[in-house]
Amino acid sequence: MSLLRTILTKFPTISNFQRVPKVYHKVGIQSKRYLGEALTEGTNPRSKKVIGYWLLGCAGMVYGAVAIGGLTRLTESGLSMVNWDLFKTMKPPFNNKEWTEEFEKYKLYPEYKFKGGEEMTLSEFKFIWTMEYLHRMWGRAIGIVFLLPCAYFWAKGRFSPAMKKRMALAGGLLIAQGGIGWWMVKSGLDPSENSNNDVPRVSQYRLATHLGLAFILYSLYLWTGLSHVLTPHDVTAKASFFLL
């Protein structure tokens, strides 16, 4: 019994554990105020909400891009579009002649030879091409949804100095993501990297870079959006739900 009593005295009691969250509560409030208020300084409540929901929408679209990218990889569609152009490739083929021309371009690259050459039909090509096209157009849509409102809010003076830095960073990363995406696809189209005896694949390092940057963008949009939508009191009130 004496040994058991000694062990129990070395550990905090239940009441002590209950006091700990209150300390972290205060720390959480202070850190949230410091970060959140720097981003939203000088912004009226209505604009804060609008900007917050806009950024949360951007976060949702980045999440969707990752999901579509996963489907594109699962269906082995990522190498079907062999050209990259910011504007010209936005127009899809509309007739049989244009589809045939696109298919002929695809036949020049290693993946077509690996998939059986002449066994692939035009209908099968249309499917994989459309999957990759959807992925690229979704990425362009993210650029429009982010950059146009960002330019408007910036011009109207709705951003604090700290927020301007955050948005410049997000914009730079978003533009870089488009280039990294093509850099990744190009590695799978390079005949010197994909011999006829190998399965054509994009570089795993470039793929990891592309995916990792998507996670960074998602986190950046989500964090900044929540900083505008939630107050420090909201954050700690919701966090207390999970405390025992």
pLDDT single digits (tens) 197-227:
567 788 889 999 999 999 999 999 999 999 8
Instruction: Give the C-alpha distances (Å, rounded to integers) separating 172 from 19, 71, 166, 177, 230.
Output: 44, 26, 10, 9, 26
* Whole-model pTM over 0.75: yes
Lowest mean pLDDT among 5-9, 82-86, 162-166: 5-9
Average pLDDT of the residues of the chain: 80
Buried b (16+ CB within 10 A) or exposed e, 209-227: bbbebbeebbebbbebbbb
**Residue 132 CA to chain centroid, in angstroms?**
17
Three-class SS state of 6: helix
Is the per-residue pLDDT at 13 higher than 50? Answer: no
pLDDT at position 29, please? 42
